[in-house]
Structure 1
Amino acid sequence: MKKIIVLVLVLCFTNAQAKEIYATFTVYAKQGAKLAFNSTGIIKELHVDIMSVVKKGEILATLASDDLIATNNASKVTLKYASLDYERHKDLYQKKLIDKSMLDKYAMAYEAIKAKIEIEKTHFAKTILRAPFDGVITKRMIEIGDVVSGQMIKTAFNIQSEHARILIVQMDQKYNSDISIGDPFLYRVDGDDQQYQGEIYRIYPEANSNNRKISLQVIAKDLKVGLFGEGKIITSDDRHHLAKESQE
């Protein structure tokens, strides 16, 4: 008896009209940071000021470090002679004129000074404050001659992304099931008649229990940080489903 395969496709379409959900927002920088020295010292140089545009890794300020440089120079001299001692005793060991324990003492002295130099490099690096990402300096809270402490961290600069912005959008929690990633957001900044458009790229996982609001994030560009406004999320409930395959 011949088997017949029957495919049953059940197409269900719910063509509900798109909803417009009212929402408010505040503008934030996509990246922002408070920068500080992780070391104690005196501010020696300032390379940037408020509104300076900087690249990742660019030097922003430095601490006086003459003592660290002098210590490192002395360590390099010690390393030079520790290396000579080690090579000389390695030759004696190969000629079986000294035992391994004697050679190990000189090897340890050589490796110890190398490790000390690496530690000194780390300490020196902490006297240089660099930009962690491309951005613009929005605040400067230090002056040449100021004393900073690694134990009492003081913010030196505020930095934020130059162009990239995030809108933190808030809407009533009752619409939680209506919104999706990718839904368009039409909005206006307070005091500006121009309409902008973005789309939802992140939905916060929980509602604010104080105001019963759901927060979302929308990418924007070049708006001033701190501005606020309002807009509408455009949602669609269109759905389609495939159902099932049966076999006889």
Structure 2
Amino acid sequence: MFSQLSKRPWLIAVAISLLLLLWLLSGSLFTAKQAASADQPAAEPGLAKVEIQWLQASPMQREHVLQGQIEAWRRVELRAQVSGNVVRLDQDKGSPVAAGELLLSLSADNRPAQVARGEADVRQRQAEVDAALRLRERKLISANELIRLQSELAKAKAELDMARIQLKDTKIVAPFAGVYDQRMVELGDFVQPGQSLLTLVDIEQLKVSAQIPQQDVGQLHIGQVVHVQLLDGRKMEGTLHFIAAAADPGSRSFRVEVKLANPERLRLAGASATLRIQTGEMLAQRISPALLSLDQAGRQGVKWVNEQQRVEFTPVQLISVDSQGAWVSGLPHKVALITLGQGFVEPGQQVAAQLAKGDS
């Protein structure tokens, strides 16, 4: 045999090359097996593998973020109580006015004459009653006649009061201090009772209204400090002064109102704002929103692994969400959260858990 190989030296080179290749392959396989056993913990065959991350609860400020609408503290639409022509525009639109200040005048027409006639009628009826009282003391007139005269006096006084009110209603005055906001009539217009004349708004104080979900309304109370942020970035501070007693039938949320001081009378009414209401400190964990899932009952929660290497599902309350993740409460103080493979395991299932890279 050796004589044959000596006659064919190329066969010797091929045989040596094959032996070297087999030796190299056996060493690589052995090294790979060693590396795999070092990276993977011992696990029972057939168990689903998941990655976990240990999370510990930390204190955070519970904060409700609501989108609100800024409104004037008071807004009233003044309407005509009597008919007449607009004879004077006593204030310009947009001007601040004091309570009781004259805003607009209607024609008096014959109302001063009606007042004068009413005053004369009352004086006459009063004199008749006074005379009847003296006669009644001497029993010269009946009690019924005295009652009739007293009734005529009361009627005359009522008519005089009505005439005075109608004359007074030709002067439209501000019921409170505010800003003369809109005017619906012009000089010379004829108006009828009930017709809109102008609007007056009070913006020295503002209110910001918003809706809060029914599950969160119990955490609010009157007088809480509320931080208000405008669309342009400006920040203001107000207090919660109203919480609706009943939820809106459509949204099942409760209306809340925040009182906001505006001494500079900035034109903010009608704008949008973000409300931030802090309701105390609590323990919570920050997780990725992608780890949230729903159970068969539709509850929102997360999956984690207990000490027996079994999957648990715990419903959580979403406190806040930002660019870095979601703050949730309801989990154990320290928990092995499943970060990879949670979609392939169910509560109660035993798994092979390993730490996610970078976790200790």
- TM-score range, shorter-chain basis? 0.7 to 0.9
Cα displacement (A) at 1:75: 2.7
Matched residue count: 221
CA distance in 1, matches of 2:115, 2:272: 52
Residue aligned with 2:186, SS: coil
Alignment-derived partner of residue 176 in structure 1: 217
Cα displacement (A) at 1:53: 1.6
Structure number with larger C-alpha Rg:
2
CA distance in 2, matches of 1:95, 1:176: 75
Which residue, out of 159, 164, 179, partners 2:205?
A: 164
Cα pair 1:166 1:217 within 8 Å, conserved: yes
Alignment-derived partner of residue 257 in structure 2: 217
Change (3 A) 1:72 1:184: closer
Which residue, out of 194, 219, 236, partners 2:280?
A: 236
Which residue, out of 161, 185, 198, partners 1:118?
A: 161
Change (3 A) 1:109 1:194: closer
CA distance in 2, matches of 1:207, 1:126: 40
| Unpaired runs of at least 5, structure 1 | 1-14, 239-248
For residues 120-169 of structure 1, give each alpha carbon's deviation from its aligned partner in whole angstroms, at most 9, with x where no partner exists. 1222233222212111111111122111111xx22111111131001113
Which residue, out of 231, 242, 245, partners 1:205?
A: 245
Cα pair 1:134 1:162 within 8 Å, conserved: no
CA distance in 2, matches of 1:111, 1:206: 48
Aligned ranges 1:32-51 → 2 under 5 Å: 32-51=75-94
Cα pair 1:33 1:159 within 8 Å, conserved: yes
Change (3 A) 1:101 1:236: closer
Which residue, out of 111, 122, 141, partners 1:79?
A: 122
1:128 is the counterpart of 2:171: yes
Which has the higher relative contact order, 1 or 2, with Cα contacts under 8 A spaced 6 or more apart? 1
Cα pair 1:178 1:237 within 8 Å, conserved: no
| Unpaired runs of at least 5, structure 2 | 1-57, 283-360
CA distance in 2, matches of 1:23, 1:35: 33
User: Aligned-residue CA RMSD in angstroms?
Assistant: 2.8
Alignment-derived partner of residue 63 in structure 1: 106
CA distance in 1, matches of 2:158, 2:218: 59
Higher deviation after alignment, 91-100 or 225-234 = 91-100
Cα displacement (A) at 1:42: 1.6
Alignment-derived partner of residue 241 in structure 1: none
Change (3 A) 1:24 1:71: same
Normalising by structure 2, we get a TM-score of: 0.54
Cα displacement (A) at 1:107: 4.2
Change (3 A) 1:29 1:93: same
Alignment-derived partner of residue 196 in structure 1: 236
Alignment-derived partner of residue 302 in structure 2: none
